[in-house]
Amino acid sequence: AQSVTQPDIHITVSEGASLELRCNYSYGATPYLFWYVQSPGQGLQLLLKYFSGDTLVQGIKGFEAEFKRSQSSFNLRKPSVHWSDAAEYFCAVGGAGNTGKLIFGQGTTLQVKP
Amino acid sequence: GAVVSQHPSWVICKSGTSVKIECRSLDFQATTMFWYRQFPKQSLMLMATSNEGSKATYEQGVEKDKFLINHASLTLSTLTVTSAHPEDSSFYICSARGQVVGNSPLHFGNGTRLTVT
């Protein structure tokens, strides 16, 4: 079955601290992986994506993610968190081709302490 | 960058009425649009896929007669919630992708908060 698991429902970090949000997926074909961020009452903004090539991908706002096929993981990282990073983060997986259908994880709520 | 506009951003309606939500791609032609539903504190669940000029494809468990989708042009898709009931209250988000060139990612609208009283 195709699925995305974000084990951490809620994470709190101090401003300036490093961050890692976990994402594990189960997908029958070559996965295309995404991280999105959602502010309250808003739509989703794409942080980064992995289709192929270098397994360490850089995104916007200083985020990066590493694709590890052997672990079926695509964890999101940021070296130093800013208060404005507080939001809901979603990992998603899709397939190749025209479908564009994404399967989303449950989301991780990030709270940033001053 | 690519922009998807969703309108209205929120709507309150009475039970039994119908509500139309619009999703527009502002600077690209969206051959495919997707409609998601998000319950509070939960993830997004795909409701249906709409392709310009053809019938929408609904996910299992989604009532096609209740959630009418029309994708009449390459820049507009609409979702109509017919005979709305309080349990239809939710956050609806559309997304769009253009003609595929190397697997373009989805671009999301800002969502519509529907409250049915």
Predicted confidence at residue B58, as pLDDT, reads 95
Residues 80-109 of B with CB under 8 A from A: 91, 93, 95, 97, 100, 102-103, 105-109
**Integer Cα distance of B78 and A43 in angstroms:** 17
**Integer Cα distance of A83 and A110 in angstroms:** 10
pLDDT digits (tens, 9 = 90+) for A76-89: 999 999 999 999 99
Whether residues B107 and A46 touch (CB distance < 8 A) is answered with yes
A74 pLDDT band, cuts 50/70/90, is: very high
- Mapping DSSP to helix (H, G, I), strand (E, B) and coil, where does residue A91 land? strand
- Confirm or reject contact between A105 and chain B (CB < 8 A): yes
**Integer Cα distance of B69 and A21 in angstroms:** 35
Residue A30 has pLDDT above 90, yes or no: no
A29 pLDDT band, cuts 50/70/90, is: confident
- Quick count: other Cβ atoms within 10 Å of Cβ A84? 10
Of B42, B20, B24, B44, nearest to B93 by C-alpha is B44
Residue B16 tokens, joined: 């039994």
The beta-carbon neighbor of A90 closest among B4, B43, B49 is B43
**Integer Cα distance of A95 and A64 in angstroms:** 21
**Integer Cα distance of A32 and B67 in angstroms:** 29
pLDDT less than 50: residues of chain B: none
Whether residues B43 and A34 touch (CB distance < 8 A) is answered with no
pLDDT digits (tens, 9 = 90+) for B78-110: 999 999 999 999 999 999 876 655 556 678 898
Predicted confidence at residue B29, as pLDDT, reads 86
The beta-carbon neighbor of A100 closest among B32, B43, B91 is B32
**Integer Cα distance of A68 and A43 in angstroms:** 28
The beta-carbon neighbor of B44 closest among A46, A49, A104 is A104
Whether residues B6 and A43 touch (CB distance < 8 A) is answered with yes
A95 pLDDT band, cuts 50/70/90, is: confident
Contacts of B106 in chain A (CB under 8 A): 34, 46, 100, 102
Residue A83 DSSP class:
G
Predicted confidence at residue A97, as pLDDT, reads 58
Residue A99 has pLDDT above 60, yes or no: no
Of A90, A83, A75, A79, nearest to A111 by C-alpha is A83
Contacts of A100 in chain B (CB under 8 A): 32, 34, 49, 95, 97, 106
Q: Do the strands B76-81 and B67-73 form a parallel or antiparallel pair, or are they unpaired? A: antiparallel
Whether residues A97 and B103 touch (CB distance < 8 A) is answered with yes
Contacts of B111 in chain A (CB under 8 A): 41-43
